[in-house]
Structure 1
Amino acid sequence: MMPAIDGAPRRVLPEGRFAGPMPWVIAIMMFLAVLAAAAALAISHAAGAMQGAIAGRITVQVVEANPDVRARQRIAVAGELRRQSTVAEVTEIGDAEVRDLLTPWLGSDRLDAELPVPALIDATLTDSSPAAVADIERTVKALAPGARVDRHADWLGPLGGLLDSLRWLAVLLVVLTAAATAAAVILGARAALDQHRATIDVMHLMGATDRQISRLFERRVAQDAISGAALGFVVAILALILIGWRISAVESALVGSGTLGWLDWLLIAVLPVAGVALAIGAARLTVLRSLARIL
């Protein structure tokens, strides 16, 4: 067995926290990983809320220049939709509400009383399959030949695809930051081994095993990883709190649906622990493999 080697960590690896670049690299990686993980979770919630909101939702546009005919067709279509077994809810949108919706786009001066606007009917279907929607469309066309049936999922589908892409991009960023952290630890461990090769040879001659020497590196890496991960995590949480405060001022149902729950925060809190474990594991494998090649 080797004599006491308590002073070896100070000789082989730099002293003091934040003495080298390793803690700062880990802090930056942890900051990015926490932000990316929070973004992935928030986007997942927003995408799920949007899918739930648009699932089975349709809008019927009754297009008719004659206001009297348009009103009769709207009443007839709404009444028939309420009688359909596949329709759960029907909401008629009055002409005044439609004009309010068009005012920001056309201006109030161009929306006079004589300008025809379509009558709108919102409906929620219990069966949103293509066959069920086709049956609804045939029923509507029979009562209002000029009517148009729009599925919300059709024109919000690209937005859902964008959210999915952003979510996977955020997940990829978490994976890349983990890989970058492991690479930084591996490079740091190899540099320390090369720099202190003579000291390691002496330790071997004194009876130290590869596992004992590896523990010295692991202890130093663990200190750096804990310091860096804690700093990056705290700064990232402060950034998320600031972003959440700014988001709360935005009156948007889609943005508001991306709020993180307690389970999400628990998953985020696991990241620093996982980062430290990754750094220690990378250091252990690197040192043991390098020492095995030396011998």
Structure 2
Amino acid sequence: MLNLFVIPGHDRRLIPEGRLSGPMPWVIAIMIFLTVLAAAMGLAFAEAGRDVSNQLSSRATVQIIEADATIKAQQTNDVAARLRGMALVEEVRVLPAQEIEDLIAPWLGQTEGAQNGSTTDGMFEDIPLPALIDLKLVRPAGEKELKVLRAAIAPLSDKSRVEPSSGLIAPVIALVRSLQWIAFGLVALLAMATAAAVIIASRAALNTHNETIGVIHLLGGTDRQISRLFQRRIALDALLGGILGMICGTIIILLLGSQLADLGSGLTQSFGLSWYSWLIIVAIPILGMILAMVTARMTVMGALKKIL
């Protein structure tokens, strides 16, 4: 890689070079800018999905569906006490009635009283809400663990259900995974578009310096020497444009990250980039330069073989 840039000055003058001159560096800058955004989106979705899955994988919810409030309260206390005595269960939390009502209220819509500014407490008087117990297990809640929990509480309540918490948000996780692969697909498409732009630029440079190439051949120059000149020129254009695109993309990512942090709720808190994700983003201009260099070499070598 370092040998690419170690070319005598008199050889480099055979094909004039300019810094950020011509369309090539700017095209690469736009491609890298979009690639950085797409890669950051894919990495953020991947980390968010992984974090949420890890947080919920060891959690389960017990529902006690009983219309009689007195019986429901007694069964809830008995089930909670039984669960606290199990080695499988690390933490047991009985959700207060008000918290359950707050969870359900948005799905019931506004009543006439709610529209006039009153609370929605009255709408729950005639609705038998289940009791909810949130569990944190010592290991992921698989089917085996759920069977153990169901067997333990079945004698205490015949109207109880045990469900993994991860199942409640499974559609959201599936959507996040889909968006992740869409983002990575965009990265692949942008890489192909960048390679296509390099091919066009390489062929245009060959046509522009066709006479110079002929003179170099007459003087004993080899195809490899000629291709190195074009490789170096395009690699420098790609590196300069890539750095510019990465800087612009990083600014946009930081601005969006601060806006997501201000929301301060739920899944948006999980959309962040770890240090290794930032390493991948910083490496994108270098990877773009390598892609441009390899593509230029293949294009130039192929064209030179056809000329001779």
The answer to whether the Cα contact below 8 Å between 2:30 and 2:245 also exists between their aligned partners in 1 is yes
Counterpart Cα distance in 1 of 2:45 and 2:73: 41
Match of 1:126 among 119, 138, 155: 138
**In the TM superposition, what are the counterparts of 1:241-260 in structure 2 within 5 Å?**
241-260=254-273
SS of 1:149's partner is strand
**In the TM superposition, what are the counterparts of 1:227-266 in structure 2 within 5 Å?**
227-266=240-279
The normalised TM-score by structure 2 is 0.86
Counterpart Cα distance in 1 of 2:262 and 2:10: 60
Counterpart Cα distance in 1 of 2:124 and 2:217: 93
The answer to whether the Cα contact below 8 Å between 2:101 and 2:124 also exists between their aligned partners in 1 is no
Counterpart Cα distance in 1 of 2:169 and 2:210: 62
Counterpart Cα distance in 1 of 2:89 and 2:187: 43
The answer to whether the Cα contact below 8 Å between 2:48 and 2:267 also exists between their aligned partners in 1 is yes
Match of 1:142 among 155, 160, 180: 155
The Cα of 1:105 is off from its aligned counterpart by 3.0
The answer to whether the Cα contact below 8 Å between 2:146 and 2:163 also exists between their aligned partners in 1 is no
Counterpart Cα distance in 1 of 2:11 and 2:64: 85
The Cα of 1:103 is off from its aligned counterpart by 2.8
Residues 1:8 and 2:20 are matched in the alignment = no
Counterpart Cα distance in 2 of 1:105 and 1:164: 26
Match of 1:100 among 97, 102, 121: 102
The Cα of 1:6 is off from its aligned counterpart by 4.6
**In the TM superposition, what are the counterparts of 1:133-282 in structure 2 within 5 Å?**
133-282=146-295
Residues 1:75 and 2:88 are matched in the alignment = no
Counterpart Cα distance in 2 of 1:247 and 1:207: 61
Paired residue for 1:27?
29
Counterpart Cα distance in 1 of 2:267 and 2:107: 21
The answer to whether the Cα contact below 8 Å between 2:49 and 2:173 also exists between their aligned partners in 1 is yes
- For 1:282, give the aligned amino acid: T
The Cα of 1:179 is off from its aligned counterpart by 2.1
Where does structure 2 lack aligned partners over 5 or more consecutive residues? 1-8, 111-119
User: What per-residue deviation string (whole Å, max 9, x for no partner) do you get for residues 66-117 of structure 1?
Assistant: 1111100111111111122222211111222222222333351543445422
The answer to whether the Cα contact below 8 Å between 2:243 and 2:285 also exists between their aligned partners in 1 is yes
User: What per-residue deviation string (whole Å, max 9, x for no partner) do you get for residues 253-290 of structure 1?
Assistant: 42222222222222211111121122122212221222
The Cα of 1:211 is off from its aligned counterpart by 2.3
Paired residue for 2:56?
54
Counterpart Cα distance in 2 of 1:209 and 1:131: 69
User: What per-residue deviation string (whole Å, max 9, x for no partner) do you get for residues 208-234 of structure 1?
Assistant: 222222222123212321221122111
* Range moving further from structure 2, 284-293 or 105-114: 105-114
The answer to whether the Cα contact below 8 Å between 1:45 and 1:257 also exists between their aligned partners in 2 is yes
* Range moving further from structure 2, 229-238 or 164-173: 164-173
The answer to whether the Cα contact below 8 Å between 1:99 and 1:111 also exists between their aligned partners in 2 is no
* Range moving further from structure 2, 218-227 or 89-98: 218-227
Q: Give aligned pairs, total.
A: 289
SS of 2:154's partner is helix
Mark the CA change 1:144 to 1:9 in structure 2 (over 3 Å): closer, same or farther: same
Counterpart Cα distance in 1 of 2:13 and 2:88: 77
Counterpart Cα distance in 2 of 1:109 and 1:159: 30
The answer to whether the Cα contact below 8 Å between 1:60 and 1:148 also exists between their aligned partners in 2 is yes
Mark the CA change 1:42 to 1:109 in structure 2 (over 3 Å): closer, same or farther: same
The Cα of 1:141 is off from its aligned counterpart by 3.1
Identity %: 42
The answer to whether the Cα contact below 8 Å between 1:247 and 1:256 also exists between their aligned partners in 2 is yes
Mark the CA change 1:110 to 1:39 in structure 2 (over 3 Å): closer, same or farther: same
